[in-house]
């Protein structure tokens, strides 16, 4: 009964919040490891995955390392030269749009795979993401998602592949799918060492204006954001010292001109936190 | 030129695990029914420190011409000694001439010097397995990633010797678009102290 109450209340609150903030589409999936409570609000709705897809690449990279295909300490040649999933036409990622411009100083030289994984998640580097995906291969990464029983995450190409985008070849995900991806990371799909390292990388996320912004300061979040012109997502594992963590995926879609998108995701995060811990809403009147 | 560390060895006398990867003196079929014999004589390099110490010509160390990433065979990547074909000296000599001509530092990319026949990129089909090819990704402050810069330096490199081949700019097979590929053909070098008798 408790779960039903929480679920009904949360459902209504998130719908109202989405309406108020002009959210065009919302998908939320939640698994509370303290109580076992699961919640899904349009969790099967497909969204452009934006940079949340990098978590799937991260899983594939660490699994490949676990399988002995390479060592995380190995070096990889850094090149800004990729081939479109649409027609194999060459494309380059833009340094101006990359949050880790320092990686571009390594072009022509090498970078450690572990450092690229860190840059891909913590700084959401598109260059690092494409290098790693190119290295392990899209087909291998897709196989790993299947082996991990992650359904609802369609990895089809690298990022900034505009030719592929124009032809409708995109990375897509559902909230339920991304929740299962984080669950796979937290489960026993990776070796304990790799699992620890993956979660450590996710904990060092530099963009914290969504899920963490809706939480009290003592919460820590292993997470990955994703934003493009219409999509604004955050997925993560929320750690609170007083209880077991919960896993959450918040996917939203807006009209391109809509403001306050990150704040909306933060408000959804706040609503989820309050519903799970039965606390009162934050006040702005202090 | 600091070359006192250079120790030539006959690849045919190497341990089997190295011969399996380096394939000394083996034939390799190329394009258009050509066959080329892989290098037989190598310099044995004891450590990265040595490779950095060995200055083949005034502006190039051996380390610059043997940097590979993890697509190289594990044995040749992570353990020393490493082996590089003796013809790497000819490549270094040419690169020094090229550097003098362009009057600017010349940067060789990772995987852009010697790669063994076991390297995942190109393998024994690549002329990089002869130690006679270099991929230049930068000259001075210019990154070679467009037609203008690649064609400019291609013209200069090809003017230095008729034996030199430089790939043209482009996106097709045999062309390059983010570096300048320079090679001296399937040249091999036998140090005078080495015998070619089997």
Q: How large is the average pLDDT for residues A158-167? A: 94
Contact between chains at B143 and A108 (C-beta distance less than 8 A): yes
The pLDDT tens digits of the residues spanning A213-234 come to 999 999 999 999 999 989 999 9
Contact between chains at A80 and B109 (C-beta distance less than 8 A): no
Q: Which residues contact B160 (CB under 8 A, 6 or more apart)?
A: B94, B97, B98, B101
In a domain, A233, yes or no: yes
Distance from C-alpha of A61 to C-alpha of A201, rounded to nearest angstrom: 13
pLDDT at B169 over 70: yes
The H or E element containing residue A246 is strand A243-253
Average pLDDT score over chain A: 94
Question: pLDDT band for position B3 (50/70/90)?
Answer: low
Distance from C-alpha of B168 to C-alpha of A163, rounded to nearest angstrom: 25
Q: Which pLDDT score, from 0 to 100, does residue A5 have?
A: 61
**% residues pLDDT > 70 (chain A):** 95
Q: Which of B71, B138, B177 sits opposite A108 (nearest CB)?
A: B138
**% residues pLDDT > 70 (chain B):** 98
Distance from C-alpha of B65 to C-alpha of B84, rounded to nearest angstrom: 9
Distance from C-alpha of A226 to C-alpha of A265, rounded to nearest angstrom: 11
Contact between chains at B70 and A108 (C-beta distance less than 8 A): no
Total domains present in chain A: 1
Question: pLDDT band for position A286 (50/70/90)?
Answer: very low
DSSP reduced 3-state for B154: helix
The pLDDT tens digits of the residues spanning B32-60 come to 899 999 999 999 999 999 999 999 999 99
Contact between chains at A75 and B69 (C-beta distance less than 8 A): yes
Nearest residue of B to residue A68, measured between CA atoms: B74
pLDDT at A37 over 70: yes
pLDDT at A284 over 80: no
Domain ranges of chain B: 7-183
The pLDDT tens digits of the residues spanning A193-204 come to 999 999 999 999
Question: pLDDT band for position B74 (50/70/90)?
Answer: very high
CB contacts of B69 in chain A (<8 Å) are 74-77, 110
Is A14:A214 a contact under the CB 8 Å cutoff? no
CA B139 to chain centre: 18
Contact between chains at B69 and A71 (C-beta distance less than 8 A): no
Q: Which pLDDT score, from 0 to 100, does residue A74 have?
A: 97
DSSP reduced 3-state for B34: coil
- For chain A, give the longest Cα–Cα distance: 60
Q: Which pLDDT score, from 0 to 100, does residue A1 have?
A: 39
B107 to chain A, any CB pair closer than 8 A? The answer is: yes
In a domain, A283, yes or no: no
Task: Domain of residue A229: give its range.
Answer: 2-277
pLDDT at A278 over 90: no
B128 to chain A, any CB pair closer than 8 A? The answer is: no
- Show which of residues 17-46 on chain B sit within 8 Å of chain A, judged by CB atoms: none
pLDDT at A4 over 70: no
Q: CA–CA distance from A267 to each of A22, A42, A176, A213, A224 (Å)?
A: 13, 18, 20, 8, 17
Is B13:B21 a contact under the CB 8 Å cutoff? no
Is A147:A114 a contact under the CB 8 Å cutoff? no
In a domain, A285, yes or no: no
Q: Which pLDDT score, from 0 to 100, does residue B2 have?
A: 62
- Nearest CA distance, B135 vs chain A (angstrom): 9
In a domain, A148, yes or no: yes
B173 to chain A, any CB pair closer than 8 A? The answer is: no
Q: Quick one: CATH architecture of B7-183?
A: 2-Layer Sandwich (3.30)
Q: Which of these, A227, A249, A226, A251, lies nearest to A237 by C-alpha position?
A: A249
CATH assignment of the domain containing A168:
3.40.710.10
Q: Which pLDDT score, from 0 to 100, does residue B1 have?
A: 56
Q: Which of A70, A81, A110 sits opposite B178 (nearest CB)?
A: A81
Give the predicted TM-score (pTM) of the model: 0.93
Is A78:A44 a contact under the CB 8 Å cutoff? no
Nearest residue of A to residue B179, measured between CA atoms: A108
């Amino acid at each position: 009964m408790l779960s039903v109450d929480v679920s009904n209340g949360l459902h209504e609150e998130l719908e109202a919040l989405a309406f108020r903030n002009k959210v065009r589409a919302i998908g939320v999936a939640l698994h509370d490891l303290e109580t076992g409570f699961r919640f899904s609000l349009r969790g099967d709705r497909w969204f452009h995955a934006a940079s949340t897809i990098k978590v799937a690449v991260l899983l594939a990279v660490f699994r490949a390392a676990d399988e002995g295909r390479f060592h995380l300490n190995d070096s990889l040649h850094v090149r800004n030269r990729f081939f479109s999933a649409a027609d194999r036409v060459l494309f380059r990622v833009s340094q101006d749009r990359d949050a880790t411009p320092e990686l571009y100083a390594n072009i022509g030289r090498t970078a450690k795979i572990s450092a690229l994984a860190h840059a891909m998640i913590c700084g959401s580097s598109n260059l690092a993401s494409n290098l790693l995906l190119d290295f392990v291969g899209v087909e291998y990464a897709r196989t790993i998602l299947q082996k991990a029983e992650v359904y609802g995450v369609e990895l089809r190409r690298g990022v900034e592949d505009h030719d592929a985008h124009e032809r409708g070849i995109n990375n897509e995900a559902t909230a339920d799918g991304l929740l299962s991806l984080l669950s796979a990371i937290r489960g026993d799909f990776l070796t304990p060492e790799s699992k620890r390292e993956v979660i450590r990388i996710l904990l060092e996320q530099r963009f914290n204006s969504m899920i963490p912004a809706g939480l009290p300061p003592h919460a820590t979040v292993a997470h990955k954001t994703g934003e493009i012109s219409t999509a604004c997502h955050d997925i993560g594992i929320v750690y609170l010292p007083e209880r077991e963590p919960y896993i959450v995926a918040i996917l939203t879609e807006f009209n391109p001109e809509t403001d306050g998108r990150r704040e909306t995701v933060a408000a959804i995060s706040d609503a989820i936190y309050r519903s799970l811990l039965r606390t009162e809403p934050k006040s702005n009147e202090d | 030129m600091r070359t006192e560390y250079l120790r030539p060895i006959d690849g045919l006398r190497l341990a089997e695990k190295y011969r399996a990867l380096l394939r000394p003196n083996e034939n390799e079929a190329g394009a258009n029914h050509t066959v080329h014999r892989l290098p037989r004589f190598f310099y044995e390099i004891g450590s990265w420190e040595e490779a950095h110490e060995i200055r083949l010509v005034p502006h190039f160390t051996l380390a610059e011409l043997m940097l590979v990433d993890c697509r190289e065979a594990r044995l040749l990547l992570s353990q020393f000694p490493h082996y590089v074909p003796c013809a790497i000296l000819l490549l270094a000599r040419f690169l020094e001439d090229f550097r003098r001509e362009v009057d600017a530092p010349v940067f060789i990319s990772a995987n852009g010097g010697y790669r063994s026949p076991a390297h995942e990129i190109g393998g024994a089909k690549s002329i990089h397995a002869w130690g006679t090819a270099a991929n230049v990704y930068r000259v001075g402050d210019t990154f070679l990633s467009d037609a203008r810069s690649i064609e400019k330096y291609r013209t200069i490199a090809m003017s230095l010797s008729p034996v030199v081949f430089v790939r043209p700019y482009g996106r097709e097979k045999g062309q390059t678009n983010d570096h300048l590929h320079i090679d001296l053909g399937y040249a091999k070098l036998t140090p005078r102290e080495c015998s070619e008798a089997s």
